[in-house]
Amino acid sequence: MTENSQNYEPLVSICIPVFNGGKTIRKTINSVINQTYKNLEIIIVDNCSTDSTVEIVQEFKDPRIRLILNDIHYPCAEYNWNRCFQYVHGEYMAIFHADDIYLPNMVLRQVETFRIFPSVGAVFTQGNIINELNEVVGKFILPPNIKNETLYSYPAIFLTTLEYSDFLPCSSAMLRTDLYMKISPFRYDQFYSASDLDMWLRAAKCAPIIILDETLMNYRISKTQGTYLINHSRTAESDFFKVMDYHIEDNKNSLEIADSIKNRYELFRFEDQLICILNQHNESFRILKKYLKKIPWFRYLKIYLKNPQLVHPRISRGILGKIFLLNVEILSRAFCFRSRPIKK
């Protein structure tokens, strides 16, 4: 069978780096081996797990599965992701998360897309967001200017990310293996938890990418995930800004950024700073919020707006200040919800 044959099914390398994924990896592996596209190699790279992960993987007798055991524990997930590159043989390559669930037609739809669009370097999909109990709690939504099965070059992806934040689900990415090898590794030392976003932007510089507006995976959010814990306790700026600031500087002489996009990006940064402040004072703010809920501030504000002369200035400033704090929290929590959930 030749590569030009309509029936040609290229080998796809599915890599699953994992550390202590015993609670979820069985579901993840089952979702991969039950893909309708069958010409797969499934490479599981274990980062010295201390739970039942290895034993669970060894229960599977599918000959397509290869288990790689690291000799040492790598301190971050991205270093383990980089280990995957040396083991792949497929024409296409994907790095799946060990706690996500991949719907049966995901790999098939991505391979079909590569076949229809030979110039494409990477294919992303959309998905549901699920919790620890496998309940659907949300879904990914594309920015309004990104359309299904449309080729996008680097400028479009970069500018859209500036305006709408990161919209490329990490574990939905499938790349041509030769492209992945060309731009590897994930640059964790420079971009930390956002090194995947940097990888996708660099991929778009080399070849167009496509985002399928199809729900083809279930993306898990858990309070035990490393990045979840970081994002809900960090007091430093999000790693997202490291990537975007780097690419802004890298393109300052070649790519014009509209003022409206710059303003939107700076608003993201302001919202992120508010999140850091809230994390710094999380406990005290929780107590303050509980206290504020007991008092009808908005009724007082209505009285103040109608009759400001009746209210002592110190009291009025206090009311407005507390309402501002409430709105700061609402704005920040809205930003947390809008931003993509990431985990490693």
* DSSP codes of every residue in 145-176: T--TT--B-HHHHHHHHHHH---S-GGG-EEE
Answer yes or no: are the C-beta atoms of 154 and 201 closer than 8 Å.
yes
Give me the residue label for tokens 């229960």. 59
Q: What is the CATH number of the domain that holds 98?
A: 3.90.550.10
The number of distinct structural domains making up the chain is: 1
Give me the residue label for tokens 């501030």. 297
Q: What average pLDDT score do residues 236-246 get?
A: 95
Rounded-to-integer distance, Cα 64 and Cα 51, Å: 23
Answer yes or no: are the C-beta atoms of 285 and 329 closer than 8 Å.
yes
Q: What is the pLDDT of residues 280-339, one digit of tens each?
A: 766 555 665 665 566 565 565 565 566 655 554 544 455 555 555 555 555 555 454 444
Answer yes or no: are the C-beta atoms of 242 and 142 closer than 8 Å.
no
Q: Does residue 7 have a pLDDT over 60?
A: yes
Task: Please give the DSSP secondary-structure letter assigned to residue 224.
Answer: T
| 306, part of any domain | no
Q: At what angle do helices 239-250 and 195-206 cross, to 10 degrees?
A: 30
Contacts made by residues 327-331, CB under 8 angstroms, sequence distance 24+: 328/274, 328/278, 329/278, 329/285, 329/289, 331/271, 331/274
Q: Where are the alpha helices (DSSP H) in the chain?
A: 25-33, 53-59, 77-83, 106-116, 154-164, 177-183, 188-191, 195-206, 226-231, 239-250, 259-280, 282-292, 297-306, 313-338
Please tell me the predicted confidence (pLDDT) of residue 284: 59
| 128, part of any domain | yes
Rounded-to-integer distance, Cα 31 and Cα 52, Å: 19
| 263, part of any domain | no
| 119, part of any domain | yes
Q: Does residue 4 have a pLDDT over 50?
A: no
CA 30-195-46 angle, 5° bins: 40
| 97, part of any domain | yes
Q: What are phi and psi of 35, to 5 degrees?
A: -65, 145
Reduced to 3 states (helix: H, G, I; strand: E, B; else coil), residue 126 is: strand
Encoded tokens for 298: 């908005």
| 322, part of any domain | no
pLDDT category of residue 184 using cuts at 50, 70 and 90 = very high
Q: Please list, residue by residue across 176-198, b when 16 or more beta carbons sit within 10 angstroms of its beta carbon and e when fewer do.
A: bbebbeebbbbbbeebbbbbbbb
Q: What is the pLDDT of residues 31-83, one digit of tens each?
A: 999 999 999 999 999 999 999 999 999 999 999 999 999 999 999 999 999 99
| 103, part of any domain | yes
Q: Does residue 9 have a pLDDT over 80?
A: yes
Q: What average pLDDT score do residues 152-168 get?
A: 96
Beta bridge partners of 128: 139, 218
Rounded-to-integer distance, Cα 64 and Cα 173, Å: 20
Residue 188 domain boundaries: 12-222
Q: Which of 134-143, 208-217, 263-272, 300-309 has the lowest mean pLDDT?
A: 300-309
Rounded-to-integer distance, Cα 145 and Cα 254, Å: 22
| 268, part of any domain | no
Answer yes or no: are the C-beta atoms of 129 and 139 closer than 8 Å.
yes
Q: What's the predicted TM-score (pTM) here?
A: 0.80
